Amino acid sequence: MTIDNFANPWPARENIEITSVRAITTAPEGTALVVVRIDTNVPGLYGLGCATFTQRWKAVQAFVDEHLSRLLIGRYPGDINDLVRLAAFSGYWRGGPVTNNAISGIDQALWDIAGKRAGLPVYELLGGKVRAAADTYIHAAGKTAEETIDQALGFIDDGWRHIRLQISTPGGGGYGAPKVPTEYPNAPYRNGWSGRDYLRRVPALFEAARDALPDNIELLHDVHSRLSPKEAVLLARSLEQYGLYFLEDVLPPEHWDRLPEVRAASPVPLAVGELTTSLTDAVRLVRDGGVDFIRSHISDIGGLSPARKVADLAELSGVKTAWHGPGDTSPIGAAANVALDVSSAAFGIQEGHIYNEATHDVFPGTLRIRDGYLTPNAAPGWGIDIDEVAAKRFPAEISGHDEWAAGVRRPDGALEAP
């Protein structure tokens, strides 16, 4: 007798099996999004999951379509843990953003199917709500402190209570704010980014902001992984008097082993983890005492299943969650974030993104932020669909991130972390 190693390893509880697994790509905001669709032999029963790694989306698409789909077809979709472990172990080498985003698409799609089969939203499968909605933060940025503050005031009028402030720094390597001309015309790389100038400009931004904004507005800032451990401490201490809610990604992943000492010396809470590319990475940040907020991009660590483990560990460790959620998270990924936010006692804050109307057309049911809060859909699963005809109107293109990253250099020409 021939044994089919990809068949169900035990009898399925119901006669439901996976019939198709495929990646769908679209870019309604110009940023490539990847969503995995898993179909079953039950008419109308399918699931959607976020697999967005916008910088390498073609690799994720091929991974899903050419490698992982064959493992799942014919399997019972209720065995989420086994199917996700199979997808992770089958390639022998594990981890990394391509692998984990592909697995995340499968994981989240299976949770969507589970919710639809049960007639429940995913957050109820996780134990139900511990809060009504997730408070969010939004990004204000400008070429000057005045421009950033003006944008922040507009967000406050719209109901936000937490605002990330960014300001332009000279040259092509600035992050999170409009580009401004270089101030280093005689340097070997005249369009360079200076860490020392950055350290001088950011405290001035927050001094102006605290004078102009209401005291009850929480302020945040993203370093984007560009400082040394000592520079991170200097920045945190220079910002102490402005009472930041958190300081984000002060060190690159190569130096995360230094985070506990930086955190011990920092008077400002640290939020780190956007660049975690495995469950193990995220666990180490929480377990080793390097963070006050863990902010993994949940598809980069493999999806909802590993992220809920991180949330449980964070709760037991006195750490808060602040899941990554910008425009390179699909609306499905944003829904997964919010399902965790409302069902986890470890919730701290959720990064918010205002999707354009084209995205709402492609993804009916996409969540909208109202008065700064995200409320999950009450419909079964994620409560979000995809209109594949509309999706095709916005074909994904190769990301421009590579070109930008190639120009993120110090004035002496050395590459800087993008």
Q: Which residues belong to the active site? A: 175, 224
Q: Let me know: does 311 contact 336? Beta carbons within 8 Å.
A: no
Cα 186 from Cα 179, distance rounded (Å): 19
Cα 230 from Cα 227, distance rounded (Å): 8
H/E stretch holding 388: helix 388-392
Q: Backbone phi, then psi, for 194, in 5-degree steps?
A: -105, 120
Q: Let me know: does 242 contact 219? Beta carbons within 8 Å.
A: yes
Within 8 A by CB and 6+ apart from 46, the residues are 37, 38, 39, 40, 109, 113
Query: How far is C-alpha 412 from the chain's CA centre?
Result: 32
Cα 285 from Cα 275, distance rounded (Å): 11
Residue found under tokens 């200097």: 234
Using CB atoms within 10 Å of the CB of residue 292, give its burial: 0 to 12 exposed, 13 to 18 middle, 19+ buried: buried
Cα 275 from Cα 296, distance rounded (Å): 7
Q: Let me know: does 302 contact 278? Beta carbons within 8 Å.
A: yes
Cα 31 from Cα 23, distance rounded (Å): 16
Amino acid at 213: L
Using CB atoms within 10 Å of the CB of residue 55, give its burial: 0 to 12 exposed, 13 to 18 middle, 19+ buried: middle
